[in-house]
Amino acid sequence: MKKPAVIGKNVRKLDALEKAMGTATFTTDISLPGMLYGKVLRSPYPHAKIINIDTGKAEKLPGVEAVVCYKNTPRVKFNTSATSTFTIPPLEPVEDQYIFDSVVRYVGDEVAAVAAVSEKIAEQALKLIEVEYEELPAVFDPLEAMEPGAPDLHGPCRAGKNIPGEKIHLELGDIEKGFAEADEIFEHTFKLPVQKQAQMETQAAVAQVTADGRVTVWSTTQTPHPSRRIIATIFGLPYSKVRVLNPPYIGGGFGVRIGLSAKAEPIAVALAMQAKKPVKVVYSRREDFIASDTRHSGYVTVKTGVKKDGTFTARQMEGILNAGAYCSWSAETPGVLGAMGLSVYRCPNQMYDGHSVYTNTTPAGAMRGFGNPQAMFAIESQIDIIAEKLGIDPLEIRLKNIMQPGDKWVLPYPCRSSGLAECIKKGAAAINWQRRGKFDKTGTKRRGLGVGIGTHVSNAWPFCGDYSNAYVTIQQDGSAHLAAGVPDMGTGTVTTLAQITAEVLGISYEKIGVTFADTESTPFEIGSHASRTCYASGMAVVAAARDAKKQILDYAAEMLEVEAGDLDIENDTVVSTSNPEIKAPLSEVAVQAHLKGRQFIGVGKIIPENAPPWLAHFAEVEVDTETGQVKILKMVAAHDVGKAIHPQIVEGQLHGGLAQGIGYALGEEIKYNDKGRQLNDGFHKYMLPTAVDIPELKAIIVEAEEPSHPYGVKGVGETGLVATAPAIANAIYNAIGVRFFELPITAEKVYRALKE
């Protein structure tokens, strides 16, 4: 293989200057002539029937141009998540929401919306909408919601009362036999909190509807094509008459807009259709908290059978997640929880059962890790318990049991490569693991070291429909243009895909233009989710660029009178590989082709495979035994990313994941009061780790190249927080000898535990 010219290098990110200079365009920056501002009236009750709604006064307020509620919007059920596009039979997507319904199911549920000439007038108008509610009994805990007496939120469900979608069951080997063979059996239940994506930009959309009904929506979606499908379905339009695009930037995602941006898109469209003017809907931060998907809270139980030598004979897991009021990704997340939880360690007998449960809380959906962090907090905490009980070093028990390429597992695709052992070894060296057990135990500040490992995915195939397409076209000056439908949430996707395009084509990175995240400018693309963009979208880009390159070389062969197979492109020059004297600048080839009416248009269509990335996280903590405060001194994340196309971007992803994982471990949680109201609905109440909370972070890139990807890439977007919380929990245990079975491990909990 040729020495790479562009990949593996920290080229300047395509969005760097615009973002640094504050000139990048986000949905909130979109301004269209005559544009109105939409605001949403939300339910103050966790569960209620709307007896009457009177929008008359609001409609009469000067400056108000549209008022919509369940009475004048389509009665078409949908799911705000992209599941309608993703789900593959025999599974069926759960579509359980209207834009507005006559029943509200959580505090924040949409009741009505107004479009007016200013935000202020729209907000005034909301106050003029008169709603008469009949309160209904509410339930907030998933275990309670499964009780016979619990309120029924959605009527008959396929898998049981209040259960969205199907119950997930995974099985490998003979679980009974496995437990029978064990020397010891461990069983623990872990409780997980509601984490919020806390992405910088709140949910937002601008909708424009032409006189003949064509719809354009600029939005913060991570998945323009699947979002288009939802919007087209709701409003009964051919997909080809709906355009969804990013503007092009979005301020973070972390999964919160895989599908619609909460309901910003359909509300904006409904208002625009009624007002016959463009409408912008931008959620406030409070709305983003209360009415936009969160991570799933819930319960994970792990039962492990183990031999005295540390060999696992059986592992059984159960996951019960709180779906909140509507399904969103709640049918899928329990599956990922189980699949990922069971795929880190070799174990011949495994079983998983899991599902979500509707409650009257904010819907839970996709968030970075998608069930995996929940699983790994449980698994990795228990591994340490087992190791201690058996008197084995935590690293040793892990290295002994980790999955190896070729091992049988529950996943429907093979593991072809693993750098996990290398991750564990390099991470241990970086954290100076041999200090473990040797810290001073006399003072009030106790140090500890902990580890957590894991895996994840590089896209969602074959769990669900997940594929990409791309166009690569060569311009007449020898520059190239890539059109790929995938958004860039700030993850550097577009930079990475441009690097790949440049690498395949032999064209300078500076000459690659990119169009992205637009259903009309790009071929179908499932979108940005499941850590898939560099892996799966990247494969489509490679295929498109190769297609274009072949066309160039075929033409150049005619022009230079040589065999096409003898030609390659390097440094923007077509050269003969056998005789370097034979060459032509690509710009010359391109312009000559133009003069003959020949064009180089590459199409990449791929059905990706999947590949597990691997990761080992290490934490060094210092617990103040007088206050319970946990200070993280250092974190190391060693990740097998297959191949780092842009190492700085990879490190950035790992740093970000570590920070988000630290918040998950130590502080972030949305709680509800007994009226179903969020107690932490803003950044002054929901405590994200800030710069002072983040320790030295060390990202170690391990490159066990993945054979299923042309450049050996694996997913990296989510891995950074998969095992952060258990590494910290294990370090805390190592410091103070207290085991926590619930996140977040707040100072208060540590303090109370130390008192007990």
Q: Quote the DSSP letter at residue 72.
A: S
Among 254, 345, 433, 461, binds its own copies (CB under 8 A): 461
CB neighbours of residue 23 within 10 Å: 9
Q: Which stretch binds its own copies (CB under 8 A): 114-122, 154-162, 470-478, 709-717?
A: 470-478
- Shortest Cβ distance from residue 486 to its own copies (Å)? 15
Closest CA to 616 of 406, 400, 426, 463: 426
Does residue 549 touch its own copies according to CB under 8 A? no
Per CB under 8 A, contacts with its own copies among 227-256 are 229, 232, 238-241, 243
Burial 409-421, CB ≥16 within 10 A → b, else e: bbbebbbbbbbbb
Q: How many residues bind its own copies (CB under 8 A)?
A: 62
Per CB under 8 A, contacts with its own copies among 195-214 are 210-212, 214
Among 140, 190, 471, 535, binds its own copies (CB under 8 A): 471
- Residue type present at position 322: N
Q: From CA 394, how far away is CA 433, in angstroms rounded?
A: 10
In three-state secondary structure terms, 658 is helix
Among 133, 524, 618, 664, binds its own copies (CB under 8 A): 524
Q: Report the DSSP beta bridge partners of residue 112.
A: 41, 69
Does residue 518 touch its own copies according to CB under 8 A? yes
Looking at the Cβ atoms of 599 and 627, the one nearer to its own copies is 599
Per CB under 8 A, contacts with its own copies among 583-612 are 594-599, 601, 603, 605-608
Asked if omega into 90 is within 30° of 0 (cis), the reply is yes
Does residue 31 touch its own copies according to CB under 8 A? yes
Q: Report the DSSP beta bridge partners of residue 97.
A: 78
Q: Are strands 64-69 and 480-484 parallel, antiparallel or unpaired?
A: unpaired
**Tokens 């593991």 sit at which residue?**
415
In three-state secondary structure terms, 657 is helix
- Shortest Cβ distance from residue 542 to its own copies (Å)? 16
Q: From CA 294, how far away is CA 325, in angstroms rounded?
A: 12
- Shortest Cβ distance from residue 195 to its own copies (Å)? 32
Cβ 241 vs Cβ 214: under 8 Å: yes
Q: From CA 280, how far away is CA 265, in angstroms rounded?
A: 9
Q: Which stretch binds its own copies (CB under 8 A): 12-20, 71-79, 300-308, 423-431?
A: 12-20
- Shortest Cβ distance from residue 385 to its own copies (Å)? 42
**Tokens 């959309």 sit at which residue?**
205
- Shortest Cβ distance from residue 280 to its own copies (Å)? 12
Does residue 33 touch its own copies according to CB under 8 A? yes
Cβ 192 vs Cβ 375: under 8 Å: no
- Shortest Cβ distance from residue 158 to its own copies (Å)? 20
Residue 708, token pair as written in the block: 């299923």
Looking at the Cβ atoms of 471 and 740, the one nearer to its own copies is 471
Q: Which stretch binds its own copies (CB under 8 A): 29-37, 395-403, 642-650, 700-708?
A: 29-37
Per CB under 8 A, contacts with its own copies among 474-513 are 475-477, 479-481, 483, 510-513
CB neighbours of residue 399 within 10 Å: 16
Q: Quote the DSSP letter at residue 46.
A: S
Taking the CA atoms of 390, 394, 399 and 402 in sequence, report the sign of the dihedral they define: positive
Among 5, 8, 9, 18, binds its own copies (CB under 8 A): 18
Q: Which stretch binds its own copies (CB under 8 A): 84-92, 191-199, 349-357, 670-678?
A: 84-92
Does residue 691 touch its own copies according to CB under 8 A? no
- Shortest Cβ distance from residue 31 to its own copies (Å)? 5
Cβ 476 vs Cβ 460: under 8 Å: no
Q: From CA 154, how far away is CA 598, in angstroms rounded?
A: 58
Looking at the Cβ atoms of 1 and 211, the one nearer to its own copies is 211
Per CB under 8 A, contacts with its own copies among 151-180 are none
- Burial of 75: CB neighbours in 10 Å, binned 0-12, 13-18, 19+: exposed
Applying CB under 8 A, the residues found at the interface with its own copies are 14, 16-18, 20-21, 23, 29, 31-33, 85, 88-89, 210-212, 214, 229, 232, 238-241, 243, 276, 461, 465-467, 469, 471, 473, 475-477, 479-481, 483, 510-513, 515, 518, 520-521, 523-524, 594-599, 601, 603, 605-608
